[in-house]
Copies of this chain bind each other. A is one copy, B any other.
Amino acid sequence: MSSSLGQFTVERYCATDRARAARFQTAHAELLTPVFMPVGTVGAVKAMDPAEVSAIGYRIILGNAFHLQMRPGSELIARFGGLHKFMGWEGAILTDSGGYQVFSLSSLRKISEDGVEFRSPIDGALHFFSPERSIEIQRNLGSDIVMAFDECIPYPSDRPYTQKSTDLTLRWLERCQKAPLQPHQMLFGIVQGGSFAELRRFSAQQTASIELPGYAVGGLSVGEPKPEMLGMLEEAVGQLPLEKPVYAMGIGTPEDFVEFVSRGVDLFDCVQPTRHARNGQLFTRRGILNVRNARHRDSEMPPDEQCSCSLCRRFSMAYIRHLFVAKEIVAMRLLTQHNLQYFYDFMKGCRESILQGQWESFRRNWRENWLAGEAEDS
């Protein structure tokens, strides 16, 4: 049963909300959704060997056009046959357009209709990112899913500025669509619109009017209250075609996932599992554990008894706490492996419960366990 590039097959919709389980065909992997995509900013998921990411079960990771262009340069990676070959990753890759990073730079120099001029935070060299340049970089990288170059506005932003920026992102999307890609690559558009329901709807309608293999919602979880975040998500998703995958950029925690999946989101990425791990925080079936906590000092238990990761199968909290406190590098890796396993298992649980028509009870059970344990390390 081979499916063609970009084919999105919904296997089952939930009866009570917009949650769905689907398959999405990319050139390097068929993605089983809902799916979490680990973040491999500079061509490696932090602290992980690509083979370990794959061993957990992940078939797609993120790369970042901005960071990879700053160092080592997408042209160098292209000479190696693209990012897949450069980093030895056989699964699919989604690349950020660099928009988010460029607009976060303090050394941002000039923004115009054409694009953004800025200095590299690494060596101060002058760069210019435009829709065409971002796509060219992502073409060099050879990612499976290419993100449109968008303006990411700060929170809060007023309505006139948000309107202006939303329009600019839409014009940039049209330019992105005209820029050439490799045959195996697929462009996703990004819905913006800030905190204004009307602009979110407008942005989603206009973005959806351009026929693309998938659509993303950007500019969420940027500091706004959770109800507002979910409201904006609903406005956007409501205008997007049901027959295309939806990607919520930079989301989130397991608590977010259940809300977003319920509202029709299929793809997720977030630095939380990897960044939290390096800070000593473990996602478990009983909430978040802080490995530094003194109560773990002589605990013979693994972090999560139900977890199959390389840490939980072999080591005690006491040992991993010791390694972390002693600043041993391997601790970062073991904690990262665990968190990525947790995120993988969690998404697999979401998917299977949707397929079995048990999404509501999965959500409820997950939350009860999570909340029951969460107080332990606070």
Contact = CB atoms under 8 A, between A and B. Distances in A.
Interface in A318-335: 318-319, 322-323, 325-326, 328-330, 332-334
Interface residues of A, number: 35
Nearest to A328: B44
A330 B49 contact: yes
Contacts of A323: 42-44
B298 A79 contact: yes
Interface stretch (A106-114, A167-175, A308-316, A370-378): A308-316
Contacts of A161: none
A217 to B, nearest CB: 29
Interface string A277-309: 000000000000000000001101000000000
Contacts of A72: 297, 318, 322, 325
Contact of A330 (B47, B316, B318): B47
Contacts of A315: 88
A43 B88 contact: no
B322 A42 contact: yes
Contacts of A325: 71-72
B322 A46 contact: no
Contacts of A328: 42, 44, 46-47
User: How many protomers of this protein does the assembly include?
Assistant: 2
Contacts of A88: 314-315, 319
A76 B42 contact: no
A47 B298 CA distance: 23
Interface in A96-136: none
B298 A76 contact: yes
B71 A318 contact: no
A86 interface: yes
A87 interface: yes
A80 B49 contact: no
A271 interface: no
Contacts of A333: 49, 329-330, 333
Interface of A: 42-44, 46-49, 51, 71-72, 76, 79-80, 86-88, 297-298, 300, 310, 314-316, 318-319, 322-323, 325-326, 328-330, 332-334
